[in-house]
Amino acid sequence: MCGDGSDGHFDSAHAGGAGDLHAGDPELTADGIAAHLVGEDEIRRTAAGFIGYNRTGPGDRVLIGIDNQYEYDAVLPIADALRARGASVDIVIVDIGPDRPFTEFDEIGVLIRREDRKLNPRRWDAVPWVQELARTRNYDLLVHKKGGGIPATPHRYEAIPWLSLEHLVAEANRYPRSLHELINRKAWEPFHTVGVGGRVHLTDPEGTDLTYTLHEGYFDGTRRSYGTEPFWGHLLAHGPTPILPEEDAEGVVAGTTNHFSKAYPRIVLTLEKGKVVTADGGGGYGDAWRDLLAESRDIKYPCFPAPGLFYLWEVAIGTHPLIVRPRDISRLSSGGFEWERRRSGIVHMGFGTRWGGEEERWAADQKLVYGHLHVHLNFATLTITTKSNEKITVIKDGRLAVLDDPEVRAHAAEFGDPSALLTELWTAQVPGITAAGRYADYAADPAKYVYG
């Protein structure tokens, strides 16, 4: 199921200008990778490629908060690298239950809530008592959270999305930071400049065909992660909540994978005025989604223009060409499909309330259902037609267009072979699209192909 490089080993041609590295070099060990991460800038994000702990120094106190489904061998090298900088490091482990194979219902279980998240944290939430421990014990740095946003805190706070040693030693972690920054800035630029007021057309060979307007109202400066600065590694091609009354997303979104469940039979979501009105197919995932549609049909959330939960807001574009699907994604501890969504050109679609938004607090106070669910697009084509009728291709057949931009390639050449640094190491193998066979067979039972 994986293309070149998917076995987790490094290829020196992709090593980001580090010279003639080979297996066995210190830079390619877990300790070497951890030391590299410690040496990167901190930006308070959970996006792989931008996380670093470089401000840590002698006398600092660091708290690492993980759960029992992390592979401990992936955490120890980070702790050791921080200790090597003169810090003291404590590690706390939260028990979230036994590991097991995925089911089609796990995305629902980790993302949908009807109560305060502090009482029942979601998979990508911070654990309240871990955050409180960092505050009351005056730690200088808290290393915690797998995904989602990083809250504002008086101390430094960075994420730890590397769930396994395979994640930690992945070649992507040694990617040149300035190159990744340039890719993000160049890919984001059309959305907040000439694209404002234009039309987006998003398609995918699994069946997605969606259009919507990049309404100027979404760029009013009040929406977190939607302005001139990229939302690093997670470029939002649609405005986040609150959704405007003039929202006009129309069409269908289809796929067979999400963040955190077993691959499911193809689901087809139909959208009208930005809201999911029907969910067809999808196996157990689709059944659960239809139940939630019924439960939320008459609820008027403060962030949406009409009753109903499943409004589109998240059209998130991955930006890292060297992200690779892990070898085994069959169990909860692997993270499933959540890691690969970071790969350049992969789009994940999110429908529902914004993570940590005011609307979620409103729903929790009233014991009403909230959260958002995903569908992944592995081979998307996304274009913007500007108000002046210029057509800009952002993604073509799953490839982020700026990877072929002359400025990006010139900067990549400063670190090594541009083709190596800007070519995707992995592409999902789907019958009828990127592999031999019929898509209809895959769509009916994708788990057989993904895990088989």
pLDDT in tens, 117-173: 888 888 888 899 999 999 999 999 999 998 877 777 878 999 999 999 999 999 999
State which amino acid sits at residue 435: A
For residue range 370-409, list pLDDT tens digits in order: 999 999 999 999 999 999 999 999 999 999 999 999 999 9
pLDDT confidence of residue 41: 78
SS3 letters across 18-57: CCCCCCCCHHHCHHHHHHHHHCCCCCCCCCCCCCCCCCCC
What is the pLDDT, as a whole number, of residue 21?
32
Per-residue pLDDT tens for 403-426?
999 999 999 999 999 999 999 999
Closest by Cα among 135, 162, 141 to 37: 162
Q: Which of 14-23, 207-216, 316-325, 353-362 has the lowest mean pLDDT?
A: 14-23
Structure tokens at 398: 């799953």
CA-based nearest residue to 140, from 188, 104, 88, 182:
88
Nearest alpha-carbon partner for 316 in 246, 250, 372: 372
Supply the pLDDT for residue 149: 75
Element (H, E) at 450: helix 446-450
Whole-number CA gyration radius for the chain: 21
Average pLDDT, the chain: 91
Per-residue confidence band for 32, with pLDDT thresholds at 50, 70 and 90: confident
Given a cut of 80, is residue 246 above it in pLDDT?
A: yes
Token pair for residue 175? 């990617």
Higher pLDDT, 448 or 120: 448
CA distance 337 to 339: 6
**pLDDT tens digits along 67-121:** 999 999 999 999 999 999 999 999 999 999 999 999 999 999 999 999 998 888 8
Question: Residue 115 in 3-state DSSP?
Answer: coil
Q: Name the amino acid, one letter, at 157.
A: Y
* CB 212 within 8 Å of CB 247: yes
